[in-house]
Structure 1
Amino acid sequence: MSTDALGSLMSGGGVPAAGTATTDVRPSSGKATAALVLGIVGLLLVPIVCSTLAIIFGALAMGDTSKDPQLQGRGQAIAGLVLGIVGLVAGVLLFMALMGGSDSGSGY
């Protein structure tokens, strides 16, 4: 065995071991990841702003993953979209409850 082949095997290169499967690495949608993160943050911290952005990024990511079958992240896009919708509805209801409570002195 030559020193080049030995060096290649020692450095992790070379032939994969028998029985190991090689994984096909496909790109993931950054918009889908952003939608999921914004959806979670929208539920916890800033509901109206982050949830609206989660809905936008989720819809864009779903379109991207539909057009390009090699692009992963459709599940993240759907989760971000759903979390965005839930967060936006909760944020609007919370806003309405807070605004409705401050009108109690009007006499109506």
Structure 2
Amino acid sequence: MSQGLVPIELLPLLFFTALMVYALAMGSADLARSLIRLAALAAGAGCLVVWGVAALFYESWGQPVIDEFYATAIIERRLGALWTGWLLIALAALPAVFALREAWRLKTAR
């Protein structure tokens, strides 16, 4: 029996794709690109939150999620699971704030 691609394995791909889409959509202020930037920031923040929660529950279910992505595994080895979880959740606030700023700019521009 072949093991399929587990959805959590796509988390690093989604995260870096969201970052690249955000960077590529930075050149214009039209509505479509603004919505794309907003969605990319939300996806990036969501990925960081998932990694953070997985690190907080490292012993019970989060170990495969953290160990699957090399960067989170390194952070977990250096800081420990609890500090890694809180760090990743705190880092998720950064794209979330940018997403809220983008939404506010969309609201005021229209």
Q: What TM bracket, shorter-length normalisation?
A: 0.3 to 0.5
Relative to its length, the structure with more helix (as a share) is 2
With the length of structure 2 as denominator, give the TM-score of the two structures.
0.39
With the length of structure 1 as denominator, give the TM-score of the two structures.
0.40
